Structure 1
Amino acid sequence: MQRSTRRNGVIRRSTLCTALALCFASGAVLAQSNASGVVFGRVAQPEGAVVHLQNLDTGLTRDVSVDADGRYRASSMPVGRYKVSVERGGQVAETRDNVQVTLGGGVDVSFAGAAATAEAQNLEGVQVTGNVLPAIDVSQVDSRTVLTSEQLQKLPLARDVTAAALLAPGVISGDSRYGNVASFGGSSASENQYYINGYAVTNALTGLGFTSLPYDAIDQQQIFTGGYGAEYGRSTGGVINIVTKRGGNTWKGGVGMYFQPSALRQNPRNIYRTNGTLYQDRSDNKSTDTQYTGYISGPLIQDKLFLFAAGDFTRSNSRNTSVVTAPQRTYQEQKATKWLAKIDWNITDNHLLEVTGLGDKTNTDRSVYKYDYPNGTRANYIGTDNLKNFDAGPGSAPGGDVYIAKYTGYITDDLTINALYGHSKTVHERNLAYASNPNCPWITDNRSVSTPIVGCSLVNGTVLGDGAEDKTHGYRLDVEYRIGDHDLRVGVDNQTLESYAGNEYEGGYRWVYKDAGTVPNRPDIVPPPGADYFVEKRLFKTGAGVKTEQEAQYIEDHWQVTDRWMVYLGLRNEQFKNINGSGATYVKQRHQLAPRLGATWDVFGDSTFKIYANAGRYHLAIPSNVAIRGASASTYYSEYYSYTGVGPNGEPTGTTQLGSRRYLNGEDGTPLDPKTVAAQGIDAYYQDEYILGFDKAISDNWSFGAKATYRKLKSSIDDFCDSRPFESYAERNGIDITNASLPGCYLFNPGKSNTFLVDVGGGQYVPFKLTKDDFTSPAGVKFPDLKRSYYALDLYLEHHFADDWYGRVDYTFSRSYGNSEGQLKSDIGQLDPSVTQDWDAPEIMQYTNGPLPNDRTHQLKAYGYWQASPEWLIGGNLSIATGRPKNCIGVDPVDAIDYGASYFECGLKPAPRGSKGRLPYTWNLDLNAEYRPMWAGEKQPLAFTATIFNVAGKQRTVAQVDVGETGEIDTDTGLPVQSINYKRPIAYQNPRYVRVGVRYDFSL
Structure 2
Amino acid sequence: MKINLVTLAVVLALSSINPAFADNSTGSISGIASQGSVVTIKNTDTGLSRTFSVSTNEKFHFRQLPTGNYTVSNGEQSFDIVVTVGGTRSIDFTDKVEVLSVVGSRVSPLDLTSVESATVFTAEDIDRLPITKDLTSVALLAPGTTKGDSGFGNLASFGGASVAENGYYINGFDVTNIRKFTSFANLPYDGVSQQQVKTGGYGAEYGRSLGGVVNIVTKRGSNDWEFGGSAYWTPKGLREERTDNLSKQTDPSPSEKYHVYNSDNTYDYLKYNVYGSGPIIEDKLFFFAMYQWHDDEWNDFNVDRSTRNTDESPLGLFKLDWNITDSQVLEYTYILNDDEYTIHPYTNPEDEYYTGKHGTPADPYSISDSGDIHILSYTGYITDNLTVNALIGRMEFDSNVRNPLEGPGAECPLVYDRRETPTSSQRIGCWGKDSNQYYRYDPEGKTESDTRDSIRLGLRYDIGAHSISFGYDKEEFESTKLGREYSGGDYWRWHRGTGSEVRGVVVPEGQDYIRHRTLTQASGKYLVENTAFYFTDEWQVTDDIILRLGIRAEGFENFNSKGESFVKGDTKYAPRLGFSWDVFGEGDKKLFATAGRYYIPISANTNIRGSGIEFSTEEYFLVDSADEDPTTSAPTKLGAKLGETSYNGDENPPHPGSIAAINLEPMHQDEFILGYQQEFDIWTVGVKAIYREIKDGMDDYCGHQAFINYANDNGYDNFDYSSMANCMMMNPGNDVEIAMDLENNGNYQAVSIPASYFDLDKYKRTYTAVEFFWERAFEDNWYLKGSYSYAKSKGNAEGYVNSTLEQDDAGATQDVDHALFQKGAYGYLPNDRRHTLKLFGGYNVTEEIAVSANILVQSGRPVSCYGYLPLEQYKDELGVDYSGLASYSASSFFCQGKLGSRGNEGRTPWVKTVDLGVTYRPEWAENLTLRANIKNAFNSQEITEYTETSEIGSASAPEANPNYLNASNYLTPRRVELSVSYKF
Shared fold by TM > 0.5?
Answer: yes
Match of 1:80 among 40, 64, 68: 68
Give the partner amino acid of 2:610. G
Equivalence for 1:296? 276
1:453 maps to 2:408: no
CA contact (8 A) 1:488 1:556 kept: yes
Match of 2:729 among 722, 743, 747: 747
Equivalence for 2:54? 66
Deviations 1:671-717 (A, max 9, x none): 11111111112101100000000111111x21100111000011222
Q: Which ranges in structure 2 are unaligned for 5 or more consecutive residues?
A: 251-256
CA contact (8 A) 1:461 1:505 kept: no
Equivalence for 1:772? 755
Change (3 A) 1:749 1:181: same
Where does 1:529-928 land on structure 2 (aligned, <5 Å)?
529-542=508-521, 543-645=523-625, 647=630, 650-652=633-635, 654-656=637-639, 658-659=641-642, 664-665=647-648, 667-699=649-681, 701-739=682-720, 741-760=723-742, 761-775=744-758, 782-893=759-870, 894=873, 896=878, 897=882, 898=886, 899=888, 901-928=890-917
In structure 2, distance between residues paired with 1:63 and 1:377: 68
CA contact (8 A) 2:276 2:288 kept: yes
In structure 2, distance between residues paired with 1:951 and 1:21: 44
In structure 1, distance between residues paired with 2:500 and 2:827: 29
In structure 1, distance between residues paired with 2:108 and 2:773: 14
TM superposition shift of 1:784? 1.7
CA contact (8 A) 2:697 2:764 kept: no
Q: Secondary structure at the match of 1:68?
A: coil
Change (3 A) 1:933 1:507: farther
In structure 2, distance between residues paired with 1:427 and 1:259: 28
Deviates most, 582-591 or 23-32:
23-32
Q: Which ranges in structure 1 are unaligned for 5 or more consecutive residues?
A: 6-11, 87-91, 118-126, 391-398, 776-781
Equivalence for 2:946? 960
Q: Secondary structure at the match of 1:675?
A: helix
Change (3 A) 1:432 1:423: closer
RMSD, aligned α-carbons: 2.4
Give the partner amino acid of 1:930. T
TM superposition shift of 1:759? 1.4
TM superposition shift of 1:762? 2.1
Give the partner amino acid of 1:427. D
Give the partner amino acid of 2:211. G
Q: Secondary structure at the match of 2:621?
A: strand
Where does 1:273-312 land on structure 2 (aligned, <5 Å)?
273-275=247-249, 277-312=257-292
Deviates most, 422-431 or 788-797:
422-431
TM superposition shift of 1:175? 1.3
CA contact (8 A) 1:383 1:434 kept: no
Equivalence for 2:463? 483
Give the partner amino acid of 1:687. Q
TM superposition shift of 1:644? 2.5
Where does 1:945-984 land on structure 2 (aligned, <5 Å)?
945-966=931-952, 968=954, 976-984=958-966
In structure 1, distance between residues paired with 2:153 and 2:563: 31
Equivalence for 1:933? 922
CA contact (8 A) 2:418 2:494 kept: yes
Match of 2:380 among 398, 409, 412: 409
In structure 2, distance between residues paired with 1:375 and 1:838: 36
Change (3 A) 1:462 1:161: farther
In structure 2, distance between residues paired with 1:199 and 1:496: 13
Equivalence for 2:94? 112
Where does 1:468-507 land on structure 2 (aligned, <5 Å)?
468-502=448-482, 504-507=485-488
- Percent identity between matched residues is 35
TM superposition shift of 1:388? 4.1
Change (3 A) 1:80 1:436: closer
Match of 2:27 among 31, 37, 57: 37
Equivalence for 1:396? none
Give the partner amino acid of 2:801. L
TM superposition shift of 1:650? 5.0
TM superposition shift of 1:660? 7.0
Change (3 A) 1:504 1:563: farther
TM superposition shift of 1:865? 1.6
Change (3 A) 1:474 1:451: closer
Deviations 1:135-181 (A, max 9, x none): 42111111111100101111111121111111111111111111111
Q: Secondary structure at the match of 2:478?
A: strand
CA contact (8 A) 1:808 1:862 kept: yes
TM-score normalised by length of structure 2? 0.92
Change (3 A) 1:166 1:84: same
TM superposition shift of 1:432? 4.7
TM superposition shift of 1:985? 3.5
Change (3 A) 1:791 1:969: closer
CA contact (8 A) 2:392 2:455 kept: yes
Where does 1:520-531 land on structure 2 (aligned, <5 Å)?
522-523=503-504, 526=505, 528-531=507-510
In structure 2, distance between residues paired with 1:662 and 1:109: 75
CA contact (8 A) 1:409 1:417 kept: yes
Equivalence for 1:430? 402
Equivalence for 1:387? 366
Change (3 A) 1:464 1:81: farther
Q: Secondary structure at the match of 2:820?
A: helix
Q: Secondary structure at the match of 1:458?
A: helix
TM superposition shift of 1:648? 5.7
Change (3 A) 1:934 1:783: same
TM superposition shift of 1:885? 0.6
In structure 2, distance between residues paired with 1:444 and 1:960: 25
In structure 1, distance between residues paired with 2:493 and 2:359: 23
Give the partner amino acid of 1:498. E
Change (3 A) 1:853 1:445: farther
